[in-house]
Amino acid sequence: MLEEAAREWRAYTEYLTVMKGASPNTVAAYGRDIKDFLSYVQTVPAEVSVADVEGWMVRLSKNENGARSVARKLSAVRGFYRFLMERGWAKDDPTETVPLPKLPQTLPKALSVADVKKLLLAPLGSTPAEVRLRLIIQLLYATGLRVSELCNLTLDAVADGDGVVLRVTGKGGKTRMVPLGDVAAHTLRGYLNDARPKMRGSTGQWVFASPDGHTPLTRVRVFQLLKEAGQRVGVEVAPHHLRHTFATHLLQNDADLRAVQVMLGHASLNTTQIYTKVAGERLRETLEKHHPLSNSKLGAASKRSGTR
């Protein structure tokens, strides 16, 4: 990467951290994508052409990057050019006329009510680590928190009065208040009062601390813990599955879409609306499976009548 390009890259990653409040994971991902782009074009950003951008995208596709991955990388570079133009470091955005790859519409995976019950009733013991795991499962399902939001919960973000409310810091440093239901609130109180003080790292500020106490439990560790819990009861689960399940189950039970948007911390209602499709698909499957006038039941009935 040329020195001038490297300076502008560093300025943008600092801007994302300081001014936009992006998480370290987001800054690292954007930084990698933009660095890859600048290494490919081998010129200063202000002199990059549309053809350079298109060539980079072709190379990404040939390297077996899927459409969603290519679209994410192009979006990262577009954000970089908006930053450069705002500061007068580039006159044009060569990515502006380059279309995003057409993405296949994929619905987020939501667990069934039966699978959630299996997880909630998993045969966990009473050791501090097992109480923590039970709480992690309940919090993710009861609140729809992102795994990064769960990991970064601090003790002073827990307000316990008439009911427990969590002060959650989400994307862009935005804060929202998330209420807890009685079951999760009871488990949280028990964990904070009894289990957490017995765990290594309990002197720090984090609700879920790493053993050294200076940093929160990592996202990777939460993934591992959930995977292990799911294996005990035969359910494949990850943190984002529980977030999707939280939203889908609320909408299946007629929750207000805007209320769900607020609880999830979505900036746009359009992002939340995808869960209405998940809920609708689940209802369609239920109707098809159980209603007497479903196609499958009519087909079976027709076969029986035809053999008589």
Residues annotated catalytic, as ranges: 146, 171, 240, 243, 266, 275
Distance CA 194, CA 131 (A): 10
| CB-based contact 109:98 (threshold 8 Å) | no
Q: Vertex 127, ends 222 and 142: CA angle to 5°? A: 45
- With the CA atoms of 198, 150, 176 and 75 taken in that order, what torsion angle do they form, in degrees rounded to the nearest 10? 160
Considering all CA atoms of the chain, what is the largest pairwise distance in Å, rounded to the nearest integer? 83
Phi, psi of 12 (to 5 degrees): -70, -40
Return all residues near 75 (Cβ < 8 A) that are at least 6 apart: 100
Both tokens of residue 269? Answer: 């209602």
Phi-psi region of 236 (alpha: psi -120 to 50; beta: other; left: phi over 0): beta
Both tokens of residue 158? Answer: 């827990």
Distance CA 123, CA 170 (A): 32
Burial class (CB in 10 A: 0-12, 13-18, 19+), 277: middle
Return all residues near 83 (Cβ < 8 A) that are at least 6 apart: 11, 12, 15
SS3 content of the chain, % helix, strand, coil (to 5): 65, 5, 30
The kind and range of the H/E element at 229 are helix 219-233
Both tokens of residue 214? Answer: 């200076």
